[in-house]
A and B are shown apart, each in its own frame.
Chain A
């Protein structure tokens, strides 16, 4: 991928002279000095802030932060709210939605992405046109995606109305206004946006497979289906892992899409934990509860990402 041009190195002779000791030491420390600001920023504004959030979650901060530790009350409150109330508590709605959304979003994106990649890998004429069409939604913001799909799924204006005009008057599709189904519209819009990118990842993986292996299997009489099931898909395992990480990470962070597509849904029925956190922290003045939910989100990500990063960075010791 990288083509390194032959570089003309012009050096002025004055730099060739031996260093004085102070200057030399400064030179030796220079790389670390250059890296230090970025590292310090990361330590303070990422790790320091995370600790701060964790701290706040153990206080009883409301509108303003309070710094007296009052124990795990915020967490108890989160988990005490149950389904028994009607409607179920926002936190339970949020985590149930997270489960539904995360599961379907990841599963459908992986399946659709792989399927499209395999189709596109069949020596398709016009691949150069189709690929960018599948992928462009990734360039849009969640807000734009949400606005577009909100219109498309609106019963009075979009799909339902259109099919009614075409004569299918019994067609009924009001998920976006239905508190039990609104989360599935978030899945549809989310899949629409990310599946093309997953397709591109799989396609890159398919193109990297050695053609000899495929030929050998075909000579042995494998059908196309067997070829993919037994040989190609197992070879794509690393891509599955990367794609899963990307999707899981996107799913847990999804916030904008719910806001733009559903405005939170009827009675907050489309909330994800990210929306819960935002609402409780900034709108309902329950800072400690909001922080506790943020900590739970972070822990979920940590459980997924840290083993992955650890193996990625450790595999290639230098």
Chain B
């Protein structure tokens, strides 16, 4: 916690200069706080206003007669494309997609990190480098082949469905998205766990090996109990990324009932039929933002740490 301390020797009038400095600094900080809060504030107050008040009132004013109706309408009635049943179904789609994708990619990342640091083999750095680079590719460069493969898998699923009565989830959009997010998420999860386990004392692993503990025993009894912080970081990072994804969601589940929340929100907002209900749009946007905001509020420290870990390699 080092900060700049003003030198003790200051010219006369130093106190005044110092005071003015402080006022300017706090003023600037407050101004920027306003800049960051403004859009959220506007979104929030708008979502509690009636359409009448929106059209005739000021964007920044608090709702005169706060109403919860836009939220209820966004949740249960608003139209997404041609279906008018609100966004609740899409919210659950997102949950059904996020939970398995986060769990699978995190577990794989933990195992990979463990192997890459404690069971090093020749070429481990190359393997890691290849997996790491995968984090950075623009997904546009894999979008089309994946669409082709998912299409084929879907047709195979239909064939199975017709011949033996079950498709085993092949061709199901949610299953597809889980798969896609796991595939393009393991680079990040591996990176997180690898950097964390890198600092983990190898002597403990060696000692356990000498005592005859197996690969999985060491993982379960030694690594996992000491991995809580990095699990939290990874889960939060993956949850935020996958919940917020739009590109994969719109490419592989852009239409139909399996649409995740982000795609549904975009459809609600950009719908061209009827009167645009801004309050409902804003309520829908708030609902889409709530899960990640909640995570941020509850575990902000870990959220930041995850972003940093994704940015600055150890």
Contacts and interface: CB of A to CB of B under 8 A. Distances in A.
How many B residues touch the partner, as a band?
Answer: 35 or more
A43 B1 CA distance: 44
A95 to B, nearest CB: 14
Contacts of A16: 211-212
Interface in B135-181: 136-148
Contacts, number: 305
Nearest to A142: B246
Given A35-B127, A242-B312, A120 B29 contact: yes
B259 to A, nearest CB: 12
B190 A140 contact: no
Interface in A263-318: 263, 273-274, 277-278, 281-282, 287, 290-291, 293-295, 297-298, 301, 305-306, 309, 312-313, 318
A246 B2 CA distance: 26
Nearest to A224: B4
A4 B204 CA distance: 10
A294 to B, nearest CB: 4
Contacts of B132: 309, 313
B59 A312 contact: no
B93 interface: no
Contact of A134 (B2, B33, B137, B187): B33
A7 B142 contact: no
Contacts of A119: 25, 28-29
B208 interface: yes
A295 B145 CA distance: 13
Contacts of A45: 142, 146, 183-184
Contact of A11 (B119, B145, B212, B251): B212
B1 to A, nearest CB: 7
Which 8 interchain pairs have the tightest Cβ spacing?
A141-B244, A211-B2, A31-B119, A16-B212, A139-B296, A256-B246, A49-B142, A148-B39
Contacts of B37: 133
Contacts of B67: none
Given A134-B33, A151-B42, A39 B131 contact: yes
How many A residues touch the partner, as a band?
Answer: 35 or more
Interface in B232-266: 240, 243-247, 251, 262, 265-266
Given A140-B293, A148-B43, A313-B128, A31 B115 contact: yes
A162 B141 contact: no
A188 B208 CA distance: 54
A105 interface: no
A35 B32 contact: no
A215 B2 CA distance: 10
Interface stretch (A75-83, A84-92, A172-180, A202-210): A202-210
14 contacts: A2-B200, A2-B226, A7-B225, A11-B213, A31-B215, A53-B142, A120-B29, A122-B4, A144-B288, A151-B282, A162-B60, A255-B140, A278-B251, A287-B144
B275 interface: no
Interface in A157-195: 157-159, 161-162, 165, 192
B39 A135 contact: no
B246 A259 contact: yes
A22 interface: no
Contact of A151 (B43, B207, B304): B43
A309 B129 contact: yes
B26 to A, nearest CB: 7
A161 B46 CA distance: 15
Interface in B97-143: 108, 111-112, 115-116, 119-121, 125, 127-134, 136-143
B36 A133 contact: yes
Nearest to A241: B312
A214 to B, nearest CB: 6
A294 B178 CA distance: 23
Contacts of A137: 36
Contacts of A10: 221
Contact of B59 (A1, A161, A214): A161
Given A218-B7, A278-B140, A281-B144, A139 B46 contact: no
A148 B285 contact: yes
B225 A5 contact: yes
A124 B25 contact: yes
B265 A147 contact: yes
Nearest to A161: B59
Contact of A253 (B133, B138, B289, B292): B138
Nearest to A259: B266
B156 to A, nearest CB: 17
Contacts of B40: 136, 148
A46 interface: yes
A132 B304 CA distance: 10
B142 A136 contact: no
B58 A162 contact: yes
A113 B40 CA distance: 20
